[in-house]
Amino acid sequence: MRYTLLACLILLPVGASAQVRLVPASPTLPRLPALPAAAQTAGVLEPSLSAEGAEVVPLSTLEGGEKLGDDQYRPSVGQPGKDVIWVPTPESLVKALLTAAKVTRNDYVVDLGSGDGRFPIAAARDFGARAHGIDYNGDMVALARRNADRAGVRTKVTFQRGDIFESDFSSASVVTLYLLPNLNLKLRPKILTMKPGTRVVSHAFDMGDWEPDETIRTDDATGYLWIVPAQLAGRWAFEVGNERFTATIVQTYQKLSTTGGPLNGGRVRGREVTFSLGGGRELTGELGETGLIGRGWTATRIGG
């Protein structure tokens, strides 16, 4: 139902400022729920989506609706942007996603499409992290800076006007998203080159065939968590106790399959790796500077 609601918002003429929700014009369509009152950070839906038979009513008629923005700038839910329309993430999911990513004061959180700044602000205010937001809309960037001032975290949070596809966010330890599926896929190659163990969280939309490591649900919405995996594909020489063998690792994101030796595949989560052995046994370890190291075993890469 959320797809139908937000997709219809995009049918507004460019520049329209009215906030809207949709109700069915046909009794065959179920009544759509109101947008969440707790509106948060940047989000979007595909312009090509549509919902026939729906009529527009003012968002101001929704019960408990929250005013967005401040006296200097009031963004509207569904307003057009460069690649997306703006739809905010519920506060409950913002907190849940940052919690799932295990954000701490040692993290640097970057929000791609930061809107009014609530992901970076929450990361700094509630988790003690340094944070940065990137948004193409200059008015949103200015609003986010004012919101950070009001939250008392201006020294820990920065915002910039920019194109997320042209920006360098490689130093982030946590990346937050609320973008379209095709935009997630466009970012995916860059994300997969980031430091192993980087956490990525997304509201609503996935990364195609890169399955999430965790799905996070609240009463308001659903999100996903991925841990950027170390790149382990290639040929390895293993020493497991007194046994020595070679094995080729084939990697599909966090999933590993193997040929050669007694291994039966495995998984990688950041730098941590687990291989299955016969008889229900497992090898657990992590990628170090010299190769894979575990208790009682090592592996050294010997080929691509």
Q: Does domain 234-303 have CATH number 2.40.128?
A: yes
Q: Helix (H, G, I), strand (E, B), or coil: what is residue 138? A: helix
pTM: 0.79
Of 35 and 178, more confident: 178
Tell me, rounded to whole angstroms, the distance of Cα 188 from its chain centroid.
11
Select the CATH number that applies to the domain covering 91-227 from these four: 3.30.70.260, 3.30.56.10, 3.40.50.150, 3.40.50.2000.
Answer: 3.40.50.150
Question: Which two structure tokens, joined as six digits, stand for 47?
Answer: 């312009």
- Over residues 8-29, the mean pLDDT reads 35
Strand partners, 24: 54
CB contact set of 152 (below 8 Å; sequence gap of 6+): 125
Tell me, rounded to whole angstroms, the distance of Cα 143 from its chain centroid.
22
Strand partners, 111: 133, 176
3-state secondary structure 188-214: HHHHHCCCCCCEEEEECCCECCECCCE
pLDDT in tens, 128-140: 999 999 999 999 9
Q: Where in the chain is the domain with CATH 2.40.128?
A: 234-303
CB atoms < 10 A from the CB of 302, how many? 11
Q: Where in the chain is the domain with CATH 3.40.50.150?
A: 91-227
Judged against a pLDDT cut of 70, whether residue 70 lies above it is answered with: yes
pLDDT of residue 40: 35
pLDDT in tens, 263-297: 999 999 999 999 998 888 899 999 999 999 999 99
Helices (H), the chain: 2-9, 91-100, 118-127, 138-151, 181-192
